[in-house]
Amino acid sequence: MRGTKVTFDNEKLHYSSELMRALAHPLRLKILEYIDLNRSINVNKIYSSLDLEQSITSQHLKILRMSGVVTVEITGKYHVYHINYDVINKASFAVNKFVGKS
């Protein structure tokens, strides 16, 4: 490995680490699964259906939103969440490629 120069794009590396962090939490995966099941859903239904505290649900949704995994549509007083399938598919492809399953 000597003599091989390893370089990383710091911005891409930071985004990738935040994305993997967002997807590596069991509760966030459960929330994503629930959103996927319903196609789009408001935050009240998420925390009440999954029997979670509103504040904890909001914290996890914020991490998912900041990483681009979900988008939110604000309609009046409702926050409706949708999965960004492009981001999920790219993350899945990258992980599978990394572990040699592509």
How far apart CA 2 and CA 70 sit, in angstroms, is 41
> Angle formed by the axes of helices 26-38 and 54-66, to 10°?
80
The pTM of the full predicted model, rounded to 2 decimals, is 0.86
Write down the pLDDT at residue 3: 67
Over range 60-88, report the average pLDDT. 95
Domain membership of residue 82 (yes or no) is yes
Could you tell me the CATH number of the domain that includes residue 88?
1.10.10.10
- Collect all residues with Cβ–Cβ distance below 8 Å to 34 and sequence separation of at least 6: 41, 46, 49, 50
Domain membership of residue 5 (yes or no) is no
Q: How many domains does the chain have?
A: 1
Domain membership of residue 1 (yes or no) is no
Domain membership of residue 47 (yes or no) is yes
User: Residues 1-55: pLDDT tens digits?
Assistant: 566 777 888 898 889 899 999 999 999 999 999 999 999 999 999 999 999 999 9
Domain membership of residue 4 (yes or no) is no
The boundaries of the domain holding residue 25 are 10-98
Domain membership of residue 2 (yes or no) is no
Domain membership of residue 20 (yes or no) is yes
Q: Which two tokens stand for residue 85?
A: 């399938």
